[in-house]
Structure 1
Amino acid sequence: MTAVQLPDLPPGRLPRRVPVRQALCLVPLLLVTVAAVQHRSVLAEGFTHLRSAQWPWLLVAAGATCLTWVAAAVTRQGAVLERLPRRRLLATQFAAGAANHLLPTGLGAGAVNLRFLTVCGLPLARSSAALALYLLAESIARVTLLAVLFLAFPDALRLGDLVPAGAIGPLLLTAGAVLVVAAGALVVVRRLRTAAFGFLRTALNEARSVHTRPARALALWGGSLAFPALQAAGLAAVGRALELPVPPAHMALAYLAATVAVALVPTPGGLGSVEAALIVALVAAGGPAAVATAVVLAYRIITVWLPLVPGALTLGALVRLKVI
């Protein structure tokens, strides 16, 4: 028999190119499947509650959820001077929402948007500064809305039920320990201190430049206020759909208080921690525990689980098209 001679290949080169980008497109769907299996009991119970709800109010909640992606896109545009491609920006916010529920809170959306900005031509330092400005504006807006509602409805929440006295001490100690460690690292590590001060200068320059453009400043702060307001409106609509005996404004206040309380909990998309905090907040606002639980589960189905698969598909498509 005659031996078949294989063609010579350059050293270290594989016979075929490994489709890395195509493989990455499947990762979001794989993560969605894992998350759905882990939370299958929650999904089943949530869909059960949706079947008994008033559908017009559920449509209002779904509409408010869709508008949150528009608000996020407006805020992202307001954080940079350059004009970003609108359709790609909106699609990126939809995909970032899915990524945010598959990775620890904030990391998924942050990574997707950071990659999007760099692909659009912004240097990494400015893209990071724009991301920090977005997070700062959204946090300030959320806390501001919470403070306004607290002043308008001071008796809406029973704070003793919402924040147990025994939990305040450990929370303050944890926050203090984190600040001490961060300050110590900046003092001891010179390279880290230099990088931190350099990033701070870039971020301040970016914020100053954005606020010299009234249209950008309006987009930044208007979108930042609209985003949590639409989220709270979605919860209030689901509460009306399931006949939760709590005024809509009180439900909105409960939502903002709960999301601020769990902002530092590093769980994927707040899965688990957000549900628990929302139930506690709605009960503190005067709702029965059983109905409050049904409202929260139905709300998370609409805002998290229903958009998760199309969001993951969009994320994979954006990766394949090299948008991110």
Structure 2
Amino acid sequence: MVGRPVRLALCLSPLLLAGGWALAHRPVAYEGAARLVAAGPWWLLAGAGFTCLTWVAASCVRQGALPDRLPPGLLLASQFAAGAANHTLPGGLGAHAVTLRFLRTRGVPLNRAAASIGLYSLARTTAKTLVLLVFLASSPTWRRLGDLLQDGRALVPAVAVAGGALTAAGVLLTVVRPLRRPVTGLLRSALADARVVHGRPCRVLALWGGAAAMPLLQAGALVCVGVSLGLGLPWQHVVLAHLAAGTAVGAVPAPGGLAVDAALVWTLVAFGASPAVATATVIGYRVLTDWLPLLPGALVLSALIRAEVL
């Protein structure tokens, strides 16, 4: 049993982290909140609706990645709480850690829980790339994205990092023998669960439908914030900018999506938005989707820990 002081510290830690994060980002949070106050309230309300739907879509993808049935209410609460945890760890590790703990408390073995997180990540990345390709094929404005690549030179560091990571993983698995058995077992478990999941139409719909809906819902929130602030771009351009920026640098390990935000401002400017309004739009989008839910998410995270759901 975990001692009472330890459990109390675990319950309070999300609140302390949320408060520390807010203090560390006072100027940015204040500027974004000030612009949101002057923005169109109905469009911001619509953006908040899209934000809430992203947690529903994330819950669908989590359920679709696992053959076991999970309690819908607790699953949705865990995904809402996972958003708060994402601000403390880079690359989505906070959300994965919360989900892993949730699955373990539901009786899912560790290897199968880890395999479901891998399938979740793969489905999200694949679906987002496919949605981006559909928008690129249907929109003539994709040529403006070429201005960001500078004849492809910007892709060289990303390709080098990805190639280096794959090479390092291959060398480790080849040289370090103790790693082979757990990695092989994890892959075997992942393939077995993937076959079971894809044999059930309801799981396939939840997994791939939710994975395709998530980037569109996030882009919908950005469109609403842009309209409320007078961004002046067609919604198709804003959605394409969001998909392109998120796909290009979404894997950069920066907490809170800082690298994505910088790329998103750059992409909106390339599509014709003024730098000031593009920056305000991204700040407002981040306030609406991440910063405002941060304190409620931390409270839910603390409550789930206290109730031994996590």
The two structures have a TM-score, normalised by structure 2, of 0.96
Identity of aligned residues (%): 54
Residue of structure 2 equivalent to 1:296: 282
Supply the AA of the counterpart residue of 1:276.
Answer: A
| Greater Cα offset, 47-56 or 162-171 | 162-171
The structure 2 residue matched to 1:122, chosen from 108, 122, 130, is 108
How much has 1:303 moved relative to structure 2? 0.3
In the alignment, structure 1 residue 194 sits paired with structure 2 residue 181: yes
Aligned counterparts of 1:192 and 1:154: Cα–Cα separation in 2: 48
Report if aligned partners of 1:96, 1:108 keep a CA contact under 8 Å in 2. yes
Residue of structure 1 equivalent to 2:42: 56
Residue of structure 2 equivalent to 1:47: 33
Residue of structure 1 equivalent to 2:156: 169
How much has 1:48 moved relative to structure 2? 1.6
Aligned counterparts of 2:268 and 2:20: Cα–Cα separation in 1: 29
Aligned counterparts of 2:26 and 2:146: Cα–Cα separation in 1: 33
Aligned counterparts of 1:77 and 1:148: Cα–Cα separation in 2: 26
Residue of structure 2 equivalent to 1:274: 260
In the alignment, structure 1 residue 66 sits paired with structure 2 residue 46: no
Aligned counterparts of 1:123 and 1:152: Cα–Cα separation in 2: 43
Aligned counterparts of 1:43 and 1:187: Cα–Cα separation in 2: 47
Residue of structure 2 equivalent to 1:11: none
Report if aligned partners of 2:112, 2:193 keep a CA contact under 8 Å in 1. yes
Provide Cα deviations, 1:226-245, integer angstroms capped at 9, x if missing partner: 11110011101111111111
Q: Which runs of 5+ in 1 are unaligned?
A: 1-16
Residue of structure 2 equivalent to 1:228: 215
Residue of structure 1 equivalent to 2:200: 213
Residue of structure 2 equivalent to 1:251: 238
How much has 1:221 moved relative to structure 2? 0.8
Aligned counterparts of 1:83 and 1:43: Cα–Cα separation in 2: 39
How much has 1:194 moved relative to structure 2? 2.3
| Greater Cα offset, 189-198 or 39-48 | 189-198
Supply the AA of the counterpart residue of 1:57.
Answer: W
Aligned counterparts of 2:161 and 2:111: Cα–Cα separation in 1: 30
How much has 1:157 moved relative to structure 2? 5.5
Rg comparison, structure with higher value: 1
Count of residue correspondences:
307
Provide Cα deviations, 1:144-198, integer angstroms capped at 9, x if missing partner: 1111101111324522333344422222222221121111111111121222222
Report if aligned partners of 2:245, 2:264 keep a CA contact under 8 Å in 1. yes
Q: Which runs of 5+ in 2 are unaligned?
A: none
Residue of structure 2 equivalent to 1:12: none
In the alignment, structure 1 residue 104 sits paired with structure 2 residue 96: no
SS of the counterpart of 2:89?
coil
Aligned counterparts of 1:300 and 1:155: Cα–Cα separation in 2: 25
Report if aligned partners of 2:64, 2:197 keep a CA contact under 8 Å in 1. yes
How much has 1:209 moved relative to structure 2? 0.3
Provide Cα deviations, 1:10-38, integer angstroms capped at 9, x if missing partner: xxxxxxx5521111111111111121122
C-alpha root-mean-square deviation of aligned residues, in Å?
A: 1.3
Report if aligned partners of 1:157, 1:254 keep a CA contact under 8 Å in 2. no
SS of the counterpart of 1:136?
helix
How much has 1:290 moved relative to structure 2? 1.0
In the alignment, structure 1 residue 143 sits paired with structure 2 residue 129: yes
